[in-house]
Amino acid sequence: MLLKNKVAIITGAASERGIGRATAMCFASQGARVVILDLDEAAAQKAASQLGEGHLGLAANVTDPDAVQRAVTHVINTFGRIDVLVNNAGITQPVKTLEISVSDYNRILDVNLKGTLLMSQAVIPVMQKQGGGSVICLSSVSAQRGGGIFGGPHYSAAKAGVLGLTKAMAREFGPDQIRFNALTPGLIHTDITGGLMQDARRHAIIDAIPLGRLGRAEDVAHAALFLASDLSAYLTGITLDVNGGMLIH
């Protein structure tokens, strides 16, 4: 049991085939008490109950500072501590540079980047008091290779921002023993593309992956488990690629 008695908040974990849900299942199987935080309360509660006894489902929009703070207070009132935060909530949009409207830009940047900041700001004081913690932030291979998978340039920018934010927080809060690390998944088979990716495009991507397949949500969950657990106790500020070799650099 790598996470026995640890309390882990995972944002965006209600999506049934998503990375957050797979991470929630993986963490629960390793002894964690899991908090599923997502937009819809009923969906979050249902996802939490499917993990078994002793888990919690809460509604919060990660772009809303008050909602984020309320959710974190609820977790503290329920479990008394927070050991792990996975900043997983994210959205994307397949558009090109000249098609990005200001509202598209705001939406994509807000959920992916501002949400990561707000959630981190809410849990850091708790982790400081406890003497440490682990925060895992979902970036993307799109940040490293300049998109070209599915999301638009604003998504690449948001996810590149997540990398910078994660590294800067790792530097700032290392002395508090709070570790911040980023995951950069390649193309993972989930619902984030909303079925909009065409088969021909998918096959072209697979042809360029040395391991010869798309990623599974569990592949990312297992990497998150490593970063959440004490197995990675001396790692902070790292970027862990989970991409089947799509980007070897």
Q: Catalytic amino acids?
A: 155
Question: Between residue 187 and residue 206, which ones bind ligand NAD under the rule CB under 6 A?
Answer: 187-188, 190-192
Per CB under 6 A, the segment of 73-81, 89-97, 124-132, 198-206 that binds ligand NAD is 89-97
Burial string for 219-228 (b: 16+ CB within 10 Å, else e) reads bbbebbbebb
Q: By the 8 A CB rule, do 134 and 228 touch? A: yes
By CB under 6 A, is residue 111 in contact with ligand NAD? yes
The reply on whether position 89 binds ligand NAD by CB under 6 A is yes
The residue whose Cβ lies closest to ligand NAD is: 90
Min separation Cβ 54 and ligand NAD, Å: 21
Residue 34 in contact with ligand NAD, rule: CB under 6 A: no
- Strand residues in the chain grouped as ranges (E): 7-11, 33-38, 56-59, 84-87, 133-138, 178-185, 239-242
Phi and psi of 152, rounded to 5°?
-80, 180
| 56-59/33-38 β-pairing | parallel
- The least distance separating ligand NAD from the CB of residue 195, rounded to whole angstroms, comes to 11
The answer to whether 90 contacts ligand NAD (rule: CB under 6 A) is: yes
Token pair in block for residue 215: 């990623």
236 close to 174: Cβ distance less than 8 angstroms:
yes
- Per CB under 6 A, residues contacting ligand NAD are 11-12, 14-15, 18-20, 38-39, 61-63, 88-92, 111, 115, 138, 140, 185, 187-188, 190-192
